[in-house]
Structure 1
Amino acid sequence: MPHVYPLRRPHRSEFLTLRGLRHHLLRWGQPVPGRPPLVMVHGWMDVGASFQFVVDAFAEDREVIALDWRGFGLSATTGADCYWFPDYLGDLDALLNAISPGAPVDLVGHSMGGNVAMSYAGVRPQRMRRLINLEGFGMPDVAPAAAPERLARWLDELKDPPSLRPYATLADVAERLRKNNPRLAADKAAWLAGHWARETPEGFLLNADPAHKLANPVLYRKAEVLACWQRIAAPVLWVEGSDDQLTRFWGTRFPREEFEARLAVVPDVQRVVLQDAGHMLHHDQPAALAEHLERFLS
């Protein structure tokens, strides 16, 4: 049996309706006059509770709010058969209007959440005080000629929607988490499994709508993304793990040189590489990440 994860700062669960959909929020700390809330948004097939280890590692208490994106965690699913990237920007905009209507916030986004955060910060630059992107590289540019094949694939997948297999126990869920990321400590995996999955009559199912796995019929257009990135006004902290996940995942389809050129359009960027960390760097090195975040946000 793994040791019990030593929770230092328990979160509070709240639910908030954003754009007609029930969203789950995790809250730590209390508002401090003159200090913006720190908002944290997770990546694809993840949950807001994923940031617990970083919050526990902060040296100082502060107000932190993590969102479960629509169709993930305890937030409601859309009831539709697919998800659209602009909806994440809409949900984030609604969240910030609800929790900090008159003042900018500090925003952290991981992976998909980092991509959402970067685009949003360019569309709503006045809403950001500081922005932290954790491995939100974006994706390879897709040529218009790829549209027919992509749309055909999407239509075919709609006929046979994806599903998620159940796990017999939470220990099996924790094992899957560690298989995905061998650096994840056993006690952290056991704690996170209870937030990553829920018990059903069929077994433990991941808290994620299988529709997220459908092919995206909307092509990724680099020019549109960079038009947003170059309008970011807030200072940006870019953090990545020492294991080059960009090259590992995309290979020659999205070379490092291409990403470096993209990041160069952002007006004010500081960069950090966390040693002995991969894509899930907030799991791998939460203490080191927390130290960099606090230094940047101060």
Structure 2
Amino acid sequence: MASRRTKTVVGTSLGAGAIAAGAGAVAVARRGARSDATHPDGSHPWGHTAERLEAAVASDGTVLHVEIDEPKGSTRKGRPTVVLAHGFTLDLTSWARLRARLILEGYRVVCYDQRNHGLSGVGDHDHCTIEQLGRDLKAVLDAFAPEGPVVLVGHSMGGMTIMSLTGLYPDYVRERVKAVALVSTSAGGMGLVSVGFGKILDLFVVRFGPGLLRGLSARRTLWQSVRRVGREAEKAAVQRYGFGRKADDETLEHFSDVIFGTPLDTTAAFLPHLDDLDVRDALPGLARTEVLVIGGSRDELTPPSHSDEIVELVPHSAHVVVPGAGHLLPMERPEVVADEVLELIRRGISGATRKADRGSDADAVVRDTGDAVEEPA
């Protein structure tokens, strides 16, 4: 058996199709890049501005919006490029705080908007699948990290994207990817989507929600009027399903705009694929890669049981549970995520724990960061 390192730290992508569907979510899909996205010039909340704005072309021709940050005043020789993949109904602004920390530490950062999200083009809805997202990530890597080591960090649907890449391109992952962080995500196989209403109502949302959302997408004016009246309800939904602790108003306003500004047709197209997800067969492809699995103990969208399943299948991974945190972990506890990702990168570079054969399971390591410690459910 491989050694397992589990931490409980105090401290969420919104695999938030559930938030969007459960609350009624989002604006209308249309061909081409969105004109109402929140970062047209590369500027983001919390003072971050991208150094370069680029584009990658996916295998089906969809244009993906890419942003690149180069470290200032430090050498990159031998250091990996860190590539960030956001979650469902989010965009790359969710990584603003992690990006700033990685740049400060001297790493080159590449992040992008997933297809039909943010500033990326709206591709065929039949291609709104986790498999296609894996191919999209490969297109971004080929275009903007064509050589040298890479580290992949994915939140919620972004984590699923990385697992899809692993299944599709195992040789690439084995040869190029030094470390992988899977944040608040799931490998599937147990029914993914949860909106906290119980099994029967959750099933209703997953099975019948897509049709409802497509119907709303045809009535854009009505939906925008509902949004104007229901602004506080939107923020309440993001707080309820995204955060374990009370978020500040700026954060809630920004991510309400991002989540509820995602095209309704995008939510409808992806939702069934998220619920039917099963990329567990891809996980053995990470056997020789340093892996971090991190999630919040109060995550209602991809509950801790989903992280536990990944750790069972990737037993050499470092397992970090953030007590009291919800699904939007990179936004709720960015300092914890940054600390763990930087430690992951150091392990990946050194290769200290990446071996073909590992020892027996180790005892869990619990780290108290000074807040009240809550054991994972």
In the superposition, the TM-score normalised over structure 1's length comes to 0.75
Inter-partner Cα distance in structure 2 for 1:129 and 1:76: 30
Paired residues of 2:85 and 2:92 also in contact (CA < 8 A): yes
Residue deviations 1:122-157 (CA, integer Å, cap 9, x gap): 443223110000011233447xxxxxxx9xx68x93
- Structure 1 gaps, min length 5: 143-149, 198-204
Which of 169, 175, 180 pairs up with 2:238? Answer: 180
- Count of residues paired in the alignment: 268
- Calculate the aligned-residue CA RMSD, in Å: 3.7
Mapping for residues 1-298 of structure 1, pairs under 5 Å: 6-7=46-47, 9-12=48-51, 13-19=53-59, 20-30=61-71, 32-58=76-102, 59-80=104-125, 83-122=128-167, 123-124=169-170, 125-126=173-174, 127-141=176-190, 157=211, 161-163=215-217, 165-166=223-224, 176-177=234-235, 179-181=237-239, 183-191=246-254, 196=258, 206-208=261-263, 210-214=265-269, 216=272, 220=276, 222=278, 225-232=279-286, 233-243=288-298, 245=299, 248-249=300-301, 256=305, 260-298=308-346
**For residues 10 and 289 of structure 1, what CA distance do their matches in structure 2 show?**
20
Kindly state the Cα deviation for residue 46 of structure 1 after the two structures are TM-superposed.
0.7
Deviations along 1:34-72, one digit per CA (max 9) or x if unpaired, are: 211110001111101111022234452421111101000
CA distance in 2, matches of 1:55, 1:172: 32
Percent identity of paired positions between Structure 1 and Structure 2 = 21
CA contact (8 A) 2:80 2:107 kept: no
Give the counterpart letter for 2:62 in structure 1.
Answer: L
Structure 1 or 2: larger strand share?
1
Question: What is the DSSP-based 3-state SS (H/G/I as helix, E as strand, rest coil) of the residue aligned with 1:230?
Answer: helix
Normalising by structure 2, we get a TM-score of 0.61
Cα offsets for 1:238-264 (capped at 9, x unmatched): 111131x2xx4488xxx93x7634432
2:313 partner SS: coil
Which secondary structure state, in structure 1, belongs to the residue aligned with residue 77 of structure 2?
coil
Q: Greater relative contact order (Cα 8 A, min sep 6): structure 1 or 2?
A: 2
AA at the equivalent of 2:69 = W
- Alpha-carbon contact 2:187-2:277 (below 8 Å) kept: no
Structure 2: where are the runs of 5+ without partners?
1-43, 192-203, 347-377
